[in-house]
Chain A
Amino acid sequence: MSVAITLATTRRILTQLKHDKRTVVMMLVVPSLLMVLLRYMFNSELAFSRVAPALLGVFPFLIMFLVTSITTLRERTTATLERLMTMPLGKLDLLFGYAIAFGALALLQVALATGISVAWLGLEIAGSLTLLLVIAMLDALLGVALGLLVSAFARTEFQAVQFMPVVVLPQALLCGLFLPREEMGWVLEWLSNILPLSYAVEALNKVTATTDVDGTLLRDLVIVAGSALLALVIGAATLRRRTP
């Protein structure tokens, strides 16, 4: 691992994004627009406030998963990865480089969506705003890490996109956004217990509802961060210096 190479990689990815302004604008603005849409769909601040916290976690998770799985797949298929693997770049340098670049973007994305939700859409956050941003950012990093991981199992960008419904949708359906998790059948509740997004959503709901930082909240944070780190490390194992 080298900090200099990791940061050079982050800078390279941000420079690539700088040349693709349309993607950046969509990444930053779309979640906020969806929050506005949701608010007026419910036509009630109360109903909106009930689902909004969970969505502040689901949106960055979903978008970062998509963006990362496609960009890293591109790196694998255009031989730039093979070239980097002949150079003094550690696998984690590359993965953390991606995680930092997309994590920074996710922070802006969530900050914007939260700001608009709180300022104009009537979302009330009882707990700490910083903590809310931290959780949402961990969600984004979880998306980045899982995106990196599945890019190893896709040969084409078309296949990579197909992983979205496989990896993201079950987590979004079972995370407690649509139905409280304890009201699900025991199989689904158990399934929801092993999916990291459930803990992220629980943490987000907690931070919006109360001011106290209890053991459950800390446990949730550790689980989400741990899952992201685990996916990153498994992702690193799928990068091979030697290929057939």
Chain B
Amino acid sequence: MDNYSAVVVEGLRVDRGGHQVLHDLTFGIPTGSITGLLGPSGCGKTTLMRAVVGVQIVAGGAVTVLGKPAGHPSLRNKIGYATQNPATYADLTVRESLRYFAAVLGAPRTDVDRVITEVGLGDHADKLVGRLSGGQRSRASLGVALLGDPKLVVLDEPTVGLDPVLREELWTLFDNLAKRGVTLLVSSHVMDEAARCERLLLMREGRILADETPEELRSQTGQYDLERAFLRLIADSEVPA
């Protein structure tokens, strides 16, 4: 087990409804990096993230997180996880909801105000989550993943429905977290966000097509635009070698 990897996935297989949805995935995620998990919707990104946080039943292989098997009890206050559909209580205010999750995590109460500022919900902290717009609700849910002192933050499509300014602010926040040594795994299907990641995992149909830096991807495919680079990669993978 190498110390540079916050997450090590070896031969991971996941079956859902009689079909294999993840086929023998193997990769590592370096500590303190931002890794982008990219691919079309339905390619298995969410399933992979669920396997990393330890809520997915897996058919085979191993997922090691911070040196422990995924889902190990000692990891439960070291991982921040935000699902794609906002997982917060619609009938609580943003502040009340964060306060509850902070209590469950054993995080200090001051974390609530810090997180509200970080996700830019200062003006909406005392509004019911159910009354917020879609983007605000997803930020309220993202905030929960930032409570306490997570070593690994797993975010499923955190920037969907956000305007460019907010998206930029969130990516700056992710950069700052990575600088503090936090490892981030962020899924997206927006390719222009890929350039903000140190490493990219490109997925398609339950397989990993590429695991490299944006620069490597560009030079390998000869395409500067990452969207085109991804398409190039798919085209190459379909041509028999």
Contact = CB atoms under 8 A, between A and B. Distances in A.
Contacts of A9: 100, 104
Interface stretch (B4-12, B89-97, B223-231): B89-97
Contacts of A8: 100, 103-104
B60 to A, nearest CB: 14
B185 interface: no
Interface residues of A, number: 25
B128 interface: yes
Contacts of B88: 80
B55 A242 contact: yes
B55 A12 contact: no
Interface in A78-105: 78-80, 82-89
Interface of A: 4-5, 8-9, 11-12, 15-16, 19-20, 78-80, 82-89, 241-244
B190 interface: no
Contacts of B101: 83, 87
Contacts of B91: 16, 19-20
Interface stretch (B26-34, B70-78, B199-207): B70-78
A83 B83 contact: yes
Interface of B: 16-17, 53-57, 71, 73, 76-77, 79, 81, 83, 85-92, 96, 100-101, 103-106, 128, 144
A19 B91 CA distance: 7
Contacts of B17: 244
Contacts of A16: 89, 91-92
A12 B98 CA distance: 10
A88 B96 CA distance: 19
